Structure 1
Amino acid sequence: MSSNYPIMLRLEGKKVVFVGGGKVAERKISGLLCTGARVVMVSPETTEELQGLFHAGKIEWVQRQFSKGDLQGAFMVFAATNDKALNQLVKDSSDACQLVMMVDDPEESDFHLPAIFQRGRLSIAVSTGGASPTLARKIREQLEQGFDERYEEYLDFLFEKRKWIIKEVADTALKSKLLTAIASDEFLNSDDREGDFRRLYQERTF
């Protein structure tokens, strides 16, 4: 059995085509809205929620049946209809360089979506390799309890301090110690991370 390769994709400005406008497409489109992707939906009809996104200018809607030309320029494609033959046609119409997901056939898809949650910059994804999306969601819910809202501000702190350390600290050993120290529970739970960091840097108390 070959293993899937986990990856975080930058989709900003890239064309993502959805064939289908039902509830499944609605869920998956909702998860893409924050990525900056150009979302194009091809479907004669769609849900009220997706109509709202179209009227708000957040997605494009090609209101007709699918044709092969709809995939031109697409980076990623979702065959998200309740018609197995149509989903297969979408897959067959794609180019070799396009990533295609068929919602009714994970084994023939180029990728599948893990169960995810985010705390600001922190993203955690759980996958069972298509064996049980239900179990993946259950594990995600368990992880959510351990990574609470504190992590949003904490990750912003780590992001800014890492940039500063890399730019301002020349000593390699000190740089490594600082990066290790700010990733500790002490800084996660601190009420004054900036003050604690200044003291740590000035006193070199590792």
Structure 2
Amino acid sequence: MINEFFPVFLNLKNKLCIVIGGGKVAERKVENLLTSQAKVKVISPEVTLKLKKLAEEGKIEWERRVYKKGDLHSAWLVIAATDNPEIQKEIFKEAEEKRIFCNVVDVPELCSFIVPSTIRRGLLTIAISTSGVSPAVARRLRETLEEIIGEEYVLYVELMKDLRKQILNLNLSSEEKEEKLQKLALAPIPRYIKYRDFELLKVLIEKEGLTFPTEIFEKHFPNIFSKENEK
């Protein structure tokens, strides 16, 4: 029977997350956890050069030994990246007893959560999952979407955040605000950004009674407007 997982994004900032294992898979898991500002501890007799460097820089804690029962004390989440089936079962059992989120890599039946294939574009995160039955399919879908949702979406989401704030501060009814938000969401803004049609985008934004946030664009394209004015 296939588990039906509940999709969720976790706030791991400053939370203790333990990774058991020190190979390339563990390395990827650690890097993702650090991106989420988690407090990371690695338990493994040996680790990759990158993990060793992170430990030397004080970015992670490394306990140079094998896992033993009790290691999950105070952990908020644990990832087991080890090929030892017996150790995997022991880790999952302890995690279940202590009600700690646990992921045993590539063993869905020993997981209380699974890690989706993700696309990150600044504030935008898209997660893809096949409930653990085919990571290869999830990866293929991710690669397809990465071609469609390019780097222009980093700026796009930042822009929409600013415009939404402006709209919510307007002296309009809730219906009118929602209408403006939907109109902008349906506009081809990502395409304007991709092809740098900033003047056209400026007209679109100002037509809605909003201020074009030049500083956001300057952050991504330094001096872009001053160069255009020189033409």
Give TM-score scaled by structure 2 length.
0.81
SS in 2 for 1:9: coil
| AA in 2 matched with 1:115 | S
Asked whether 1:197 is paired with 2:199, we answer no
Asked whether 1:74 is paired with 2:75, we answer yes
Counterpart CA distance in 2 for 1:169 and 1:64 is: 62
TM-superposed deviation, 1:199: 1.9
Asked whether 1:135 is paired with 2:143, we answer no
Q: Which residue of 2 aligns with 1:32?
A: 33
| 1:116 aligns with one of 115, 118, 137 | 118
SS in 2 for 1:123: strand
Q: Is the 8 A contact 2:78 2:103 kept in 1?
A: yes
Q: Which residue of 1 aligns with 2:60?
A: 59
Counterpart CA distance in 1 for 2:16 and 2:166 is: 35
TM-superposed deviation, 1:185: 3.3
Q: Which residue of 2 aligns with 1:45?
A: 46
Change (3 A) 1:104 1:150: closer
1:1-60: CA deviations, max 9, x gaps? 552111111110111001111122112112222110001101111111111111122211
Counterpart CA distance in 2 for 1:131 and 1:29 is: 23
Asked whether 1:85 is paired with 2:104, we answer no
| AA in 1 matched with 2:74 | G
Counterpart CA distance in 1 for 2:44 and 2:171 is: 55
Q: Which residue of 1 aligns with 2:176?
A: 174
Number of equivalent positions: 202
CA RMSD after TM alignment:
1.7
Q: Is the 8 A contact 2:13 2:36 kept in 1?
A: yes
Change (3 A) 1:110 1:158: same
SS in 2 for 1:18: strand
| AA in 2 matched with 1:79 | A
Q: Is the 8 A contact 2:30 2:40 kept in 1?
A: yes
Q: Is the 8 A contact 2:44 2:66 kept in 1?
A: yes
| AA in 1 matched with 2:78 | V
1:49-106: CA deviations, max 9, x gaps? 1111111222111112222332111111111111111111111222442101112421
Structure 2 residue runs of 5 or longer lacking an equivalent are: 211-231
Structure 1 residue runs of 5 or longer lacking an equivalent are: none
Change (3 A) 1:178 1:158: same
SS in 2 for 1:125: strand
Give TM-score scaled by structure 1 length.
0.90
Change (3 A) 1:23 1:159: same
Counterpart CA distance in 2 for 1:174 and 1:198 is: 16
| 1:99 aligns with one of 97, 101, 109 | 101
